[in-house]
């Protein structure tokens, strides 16, 4: 029993002894603490020098842009402009009376023509119209004649109208066989042609005449033999105009040959275009 009790008593004594030995540090520990505190003072001094050097470098650098983060506290207060309300004017009160209407302006330029639209649908068939009024009777727009002569003719002291004794065509009787003249009843443009047979050893000298004015001449010199000679012309005639053939007067011997067996002299004319046509 002594062994266990002796061990218990030794442990209790250790617990009850004052902690003097633990509270006083040993010499090596104290030296170690001083060595540790000494480097901490040197570190603080070095950090202060670095801080001053850093601020000097900042003073030498150019100013940075004023960038402010939204989370940083404001360095200065921002003054907003004062809102000044504008006065409201009722236009209806200041409106005057209605003025006079101005003059119409000049017409503007026409715009470009648009493209043609598509063809529409065919509409329904309309009702049959009423019968129109009776029109005027159809007017004649034709005129033509062709006549011949079977007798010779010699000149004398005055002009002689060439008369014809043979009628080939005389539409509506516009050529008068008694006077030997064509009378215009349908105004327009006409074509006329004259054919004669000359007399040997004599001149042939005739004129185509319109209203007493010589228009064209048919002439053949003296020759040992007789020949056929012709002349033609186009004339614009008005209503009641006259056209005929005239033999020149007898200042010199002048003649037209023909005989009773054959027709050597012809005079013809016809309407080409009516004046009322477009």
Least Cα distance to 199 among 265, 256, 261, 160 occurs for: 256
Percent of the chain with pLDDT over 90: 31
Q: What is the pLDDT of residues 89-133, one digit of tens each?
A: 666 666 677 888 888 888 888 888 888 888 888 888 888 888 888
Whole-Å CA distances, 197 to 149, 218, 229, 249, 264 = 11, 11, 6, 18, 6
Q: What is the pLDDT of residues 150-191, one digit of tens each?
A: 988 888 888 999 999 999 999 999 999 999 999 999 999 999
Judge whether 245 and 180 are in contact, CB under 8 Å: yes
Q: What is the total count of domains within the chain? A: 1
Query: For residue 14, is it within any domain?
Result: no
The helix/strand/coil state of 74 is coil
Query: For residue 12, is it within any domain?
Result: no
Helices marked H in the chain: 2-16, 20-23, 27-60, 91-94
Least Cα distance to 213 among 242, 186, 240 occurs for: 242
Query: For residue 62, is it within any domain?
Result: no
Query: For residue 258, is it within any domain?
Result: yes
User: pTM for this structure?
Assistant: 0.50
The CATH number of whichever domain residue 224 belongs to comes to 2.60.120.40
Contacts 24+ apart (CB under 8 A), 19-22: none
Query: For residue 137, is it within any domain?
Result: no
Higher pLDDT, 93 or 134: 134
Query: For residue 149, is it within any domain?
Result: yes
Percent of the chain with pLDDT over 70: 64
Query: For residue 126, is it within any domain?
Result: no
Query: For residue 128, is it within any domain?
Result: no
Which residue range(s) make up the domain with 265? 144-274
Q: Does the pLDDT of residue 249 top 70, yes or no?
A: yes
Least Cα distance to 193 among 182, 204, 179 occurs for: 182
Judge whether 199 and 226 are in contact, CB under 8 Å: yes
């Amino acid at each position: 029993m002594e062994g266990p009790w002796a061990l218990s008593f030794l442990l209790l004594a250790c617990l009850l002894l004052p902690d003097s030995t633990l509270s006083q540090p040993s010499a090596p520990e104290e030296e170690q603490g001083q060595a540790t505190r000494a480097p901490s003072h040197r570190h603080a001094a070095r950090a202060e020098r670095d801080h001053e050097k850093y601020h000097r470098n900042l003073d030498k650098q150019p100013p940075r842009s004023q960038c402010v983060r939204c989370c940083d506290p404001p360095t200065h207060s921002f003054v907003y402009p004062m809102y000044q309300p504008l006065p409201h004017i009722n236009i209806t009160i200041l409106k005057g009376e209605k003025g006079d209407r101005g003059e119409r302006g000049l017409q503007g330029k026409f715009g470009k023509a648009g493209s043609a639209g598509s063809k529409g649908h065919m509409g329904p068939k309309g009702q049959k119209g009423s019968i129109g009024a009776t029109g005027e009777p159809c007017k004649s727009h034709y005129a033509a004649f062709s006549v011949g002569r079977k007798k010779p003719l010699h000149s004398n002291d005055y002009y002689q109208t060439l008369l014809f004794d043979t009628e080939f065509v005389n539409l509506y009787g516009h050529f008068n066989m008694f006077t030997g003249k064509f009378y215009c009843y349908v105004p327009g443009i006409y074509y006329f042609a004259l054919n004669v047979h000359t007399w040997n050893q004599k001149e042939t000298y005739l004129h185509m005449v319109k209203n007493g004015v010589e228009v064209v001449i048919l002439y053949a010199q003296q020759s040992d033999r007789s020949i056929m000679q012709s002349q033609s012309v186009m004339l614009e005639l008005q209503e009641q105009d006259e056209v005929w053939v005239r033999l020149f007067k007898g200042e010199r011997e002048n003649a037209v040959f023909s005989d009773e067996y054959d027709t050597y002299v012809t005079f013809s004319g016809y309407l080409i275009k009516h004046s009322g046509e477009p």
